[in-house]
Homo-oligomer: A and B are copies of this chain.
Amino acid sequence: MGTKKRVAAVRKNLWSGLKPGAANRSELSPIVFLARAAEIYPQRVAVVHGATRINYAQFYERAKRLASALEQRGVKRGDVVAAMLPNVPALLDAHYGVPMAGAVLNAINTRLDAETVAYILAHGEAKVFITDRVYAGVVGPALKKLKKKPLVIDVDDPLYTGPGERLGSVEYEKFIGGGNPAFKWSLPRSESDPIALNYTSGTTGRPKGVVYHHRGTFLESLGNIVAWAMPTHPVYLWTLPMFHCNGWCYPWSVTAMAGTHVCLRAVDPAQIFPMIVEHGVSHMCGAPTVLTMLVAAPEQQRRQFTQAVHIMTGGSPPPAKVIKGMEELGFTVLHIYGMTELQGPSTFCAVQDSWGGLSQEDRAVQMARQGVRYQVVEGHIVADPKSCKPVKKDGQAMGEILVQGNTVMLGYLKDPKATREAFHGGWMHTGDLAVWHPGNYIEIKDRKKDVIISGGENISSVEVEIALYKHPSTALAAVVARPDEKWGETPCAFVQLKPGASATEEDFIKWCRDNLAKFKVPKKVVFGDLPTTATGKIQKYVLRERAREL
């Protein structure tokens, strides 16, 4: 035996037999956090909903009852349980009860139309569908379109007194009342098993079903805590829709820290400010539009609060003046970047000591960058999408944001081609175009599909939007490509003016000329309310259609 072979044999010998087994390996899953919180803080308030208080013992019991009731109705490991619900206790229950039954939670965007809801239910093959009366006008027609009907369960929330009939065969509280509170749940067989299914917004054709896994959501849940340095017992206000990336995994993060979930059926500053004061809210999340709404809230809706309130925002970059406005209201803003395929936030704009010396405005510019990767994210680069080679960190070179690691989705449901394309070269391709700053901070310049190519020049729609946002009359702004015979495409601006503000197309065009290179100046400016998605993103595909018809 040669030396090399002998050395290898010795090494093999040294560690041989040391394999993970029952004592030292358990499958990672965020569902463990609820069992633990209930064990240690049974009497602590876990959920606030109107006048209702659910403590951790009760929250855990509700989740087990749900799991048990689902199993009684024939739900099996790997089955899909869909939910179209506002941020109510039932949806928190579902984040634990559904995977405790081995099933997969599909939380559906509540602003979708009947046809899309029907498509999602059919595509995901949902066996059960939990819904709220408030969506009866959409859910009713959606169910009619389905060949195979799921078991429909109605949430009839006493806090909701508006119209909408019950569509199902059983009310949610009654349904879980029939479940066993001592249900023996188990961990997934593999931590790579699916835990949730979240459909993309479908701006480019049919929505795609993004499959989340236990391992990834467990790590993302811890990643949220360490990135935000979340303390024990946070009081978390649900201003972010829980159907959006499973509420960025906060149903699990907040529970891991034995915090209090404060439910909220609809985002309304008139409710949010008093709730921050009443419940001592410490943390909340939301798209920049939520921040804009809070900053724009009339004086009589605002409340003073004495505690620190941390707000995490993402989905689109928060305009610097919105960050400034939030800080003036007493909020501490953390900007994150993520997407459905990343199971929630993937980068955050970590604050540097040196920013302490900047003006509030300059700091807001820094804070509007997408920032640096979470502790639990292995790779986060700006790169050439074909070769996957990183671009220079010079704040100039554009590339696509590529992500690698355990918090990346398992793939798209029933779409191996899209999955393969998204994972080209062993990286998740986000479709976001960005530059990389010398200090490693990523800054998004555009969605790949939103870049405007005019006379062969790339124009970042975001750059033009930033210029428009600087105009004092702008409330919301978006820029899309408009087909042009001569230039191929030209930028077309859509502007929603502030209440009471008046400005003309000429004013804006002049403003842009003063602030942008000539070829980037919009050829058209259209005024009116901008269409947004359920998560506050401006629906550029709608604007693109409008621009084509101008």
- Contact surface of A with B, Cβ cutoff 8 Å: 7, 10-12, 14-15, 17-26, 28, 32-33, 36, 39-41, 44, 76-80, 125, 192-194, 211, 213, 215-216, 222, 225-226, 229-232, 256-257, 350, 352-353, 372-373, 375-376, 378-379, 403-406, 408-411, 413-414, 416, 419, 422-423, 426-428, 439-440
The 3 closest A-B pairs by CB, nearest first: A22-B426, A24-B408, A26-B378
In the complex with contacts A229-B232, A257-B229, A372-B40, A23-B426 CB distance below 8 A: yes
Of the residues B215, B256, B405, contact of A375 by C-beta under 8 Å: B256
Of the residues B22, B24, B76, B439, contact of A216 by C-beta under 8 Å: B24
Q: Are B230 and A410 in contact (CB under 8 A)?
A: no
| A22–B378 CA distance with the chains assembled, in angstroms | 11
Task: Kindly list chain B residues whose C-beta atoms are within 8 Å of the C-beta of A213.
Answer: 20, 24
Q: Are B11 and A78 in contact (CB under 8 A)?
A: yes
Task: Kindly list chain B residues whose C-beta atoms are within 8 Å of the C-beta of A350.
Answer: 40, 232
Q: Are B257 and A14 in contact (CB under 8 A)?
A: no
In the complex with contacts A11-B79, A256-B375, A404-B26, A423-B21 CB distance below 8 A: yes
In the complex with contacts A39-B440, A76-B11, A416-B24 CB distance below 8 A: no
Q: Are A226 and B229 in contact (CB under 8 A)?
A: no
In the complex with contacts A226-B225, A256-B226, A375-B33 CB distance below 8 A: yes
Task: Kindly list chain B residues whose C-beta atoms are within 8 Å of the C-beta of A409.
Answer: 24
| A376–B226 CA distance with the chains assembled, in angstroms | 13
| A125–B10 CA distance with the chains assembled, in angstroms | 9
The minimal Cβ–Cβ distance linking A374 to chain B, given in whole angstroms, is 9
| A431–B182 CA distance with the chains assembled, in angstroms | 31
Q: A187's closest neighbor in chain B, by CB?
A: B378
| A15–B422 CA distance with the chains assembled, in angstroms | 17
* Chain multiplicity (copies): 2
**Other A-B pairs beyond A17-B411, A18-B194, A28-B406, 17, CB < 8 Å:** A11-B76, A14-B80, A20-B213, A23-B428, A24-B404, A26-B379, A26-B406, A36-B373, A36-B375, A40-B350, A222-B222, A222-B376, A225-B226, A226-B256, A229-B230, A232-B350, A256-B375
Of the residues B44, B192, B257, B416, contact of A17 by C-beta under 8 Å: B416
In the complex with contacts A10-B125, A78-B11, A78-B15, A20-B404 CB distance below 8 A: no
Task: Kindly list chain B residues whose C-beta atoms are within 8 Å of the C-beta of A376.
Answer: 222
Q: A415's closest neighbor in chain B, by CB?
A: B17
Q: A373's closest neighbor in chain B, by CB?
A: B36
Task: Kindly list chain B residues whose C-beta atoms are within 8 Å of the C-beta of A215.
Answer: 20
Q: A428's closest neighbor in chain B, by CB?
A: B23
Task: Kindly list chain B residues whose C-beta atoms are within 8 Å of the C-beta of A256.
Answer: 226, 375
Task: Kindly list chain B residues whose C-beta atoms are within 8 Å of the C-beta of A406.
Answer: 24-26, 28
Task: Kindly list chain B residues whose C-beta atoms are within 8 Å of the C-beta of A379.
Answer: 26
Task: Kindly list chain B residues whose C-beta atoms are within 8 Å of the C-beta of A36.
Answer: 372-373, 375
Q: Are B423 and A40 in contact (CB under 8 A)?
A: no
Q: A10's closest neighbor in chain B, by CB?
A: B125
Task: Kindly list chain B residues whose C-beta atoms are within 8 Å of the C-beta of A405.
Answer: 24, 26
Task: Kindly list chain B residues whose C-beta atoms are within 8 Å of the C-beta of A10.
Answer: 125
Task: Kindly list chain B residues whose C-beta atoms are within 8 Å of the C-beta of A410.
Answer: 18-20, 24
| A372–B409 CA distance with the chains assembled, in angstroms | 32
The minimal Cβ–Cβ distance linking A26 to chain B, given in whole angstroms, is 4
User: Which of A11, A15, A257 has its CB near the most chain B CB atoms (within 10 A)?
Assistant: A15
Q: A77's closest neighbor in chain B, by CB?
A: B11
In the complex with contacts A26-B378, A256-B375, A226-B216 CB distance below 8 A: no
Q: A414's closest neighbor in chain B, by CB?
A: B14
Task: Kindly list chain B residues whose C-beta atoms are within 8 Å of the C-beta of A414.
Answer: 14
The contact sample of 21 A-B pairs, CB cut-off 8 A, is A11-B76, A11-B79, A15-B211, A15-B413, A17-B416, A18-B211, A19-B192, A20-B192, A20-B213, A20-B410, A21-B426, A22-B426, A24-B408, A24-B410, A25-B406, A39-B440, A40-B440, A222-B226, A226-B226, A229-B230, A256-B375
| A19–B419 CA distance with the chains assembled, in angstroms | 11
Task: Kindly list chain B residues whose C-beta atoms are within 8 Å of the C-beta of A419.
Answer: 17-18
Task: Kindly list chain B residues whose C-beta atoms are within 8 Å of the C-beta of A423.
Answer: 21-24
Of the residues B76, B225, B426, contact of A7 by C-beta under 8 Å: B76
Q: Are A413 and B14 in contact (CB under 8 A)?
A: yes
| A79–B10 CA distance with the chains assembled, in angstroms | 10
| A10–B76 CA distance with the chains assembled, in angstroms | 12
The minimal Cβ–Cβ distance linking A214 to chain B, given in whole angstroms, is 11
| A234–B222 CA distance with the chains assembled, in angstroms | 18
Task: Kindly list chain B residues whose C-beta atoms are within 8 Å of the C-beta of A416.
Answer: 17
Q: Are B23 and A408 in contact (CB under 8 A)?
A: yes
| A486–B408 CA distance with the chains assembled, in angstroms | 68
Q: A408's closest neighbor in chain B, by CB?
A: B24
The minimal Cβ–Cβ distance linking A99 to chain B, given in whole angstroms, is 14
